[in-house]
Amino acid sequence: MGRGKIEIKRIENSNNRQVTYSKRRTGIMKKAKEITVLCDAKVSLIIFGTSGKMHEYISPSTNLVEMLDAYQRSTGKKLWDAKHENLSNEIDRVKKENDSMQIELRHLKGEDITSLNYKELMILEDALENGLAGLREKQSEIIKMIRKTGEMLEDENKQLQYIWHQQEMANMKGAIGERDDVYQRVRDYPSQMPFAFRVQPMQPNLHERI
């Protein structure tokens, strides 16, 4: 007896539904791989379960972007608008520029230059010479700036020493002036004292006798 026909409808029991999903997903993934190998077909399969988890399979000979582009060309349907197309083109352009800059950087480091022809080597040499000239110019500017800063610091140091010397001279003059003033006061002090005379009798008791 053959297997009975299964009615295709939603499985209400969550456990049974999850088991069936896992088995069917594995089976359809297997079929996608088989048709890719047996028939040299390009297959793109994307499955989202109820939990939101994604499962995908894409034939090794292609990628998702190529499959979507082929779908658009075949059906005439636009999967994204012109704005997104321009953004995608801009991303591709930036990636190409980045790859080109990485290659140029390796060449400037002296890496992977064996494949360059004579013209490309001359261009690389000019770039290196220009870079070296710019580096020397920048180095010269830095040296001039350092010298100028040193001269400014030296001038400021001389000015500070001059100001300090003037202050020292002023302090010395003030000290000498105070000392001379003290000497003058000491010299003039006796002449300014009043003289008081008291007559003492030679015989202290003479006035009593009189």
What does the pLDDT read at residue 197? 47
Query: Which residues, 6 or more positions from 92, have their beta carbon under 8 angstroms from its beta carbon?
Result: none
What does the pLDDT read at residue 99? 84
Average pLDDT across the chain, whole number: 80
CA distances from 172 to 111, 162, 167, 168, 175 (A): 74, 15, 9, 6, 5
Q: pTM of the full predicted structure? A: 0.38
- Residues lower than pLDDT 70 in the chain: 1-4, 81-85, 177-210
What does the pLDDT read at residue 26? 94
What does the pLDDT read at residue 180? 66
Task: Give the whole-angstrom CA distance, residue 25 versus residue 103.
Answer: 44
Owner of token pair 């636009």: 78
Condensed to tens digits (0 to 9), the pLDDT of residues 78-88 reads 777 666 667 77
What does the pLDDT read at residue 24? 93
What does the pLDDT read at residue 126? 84
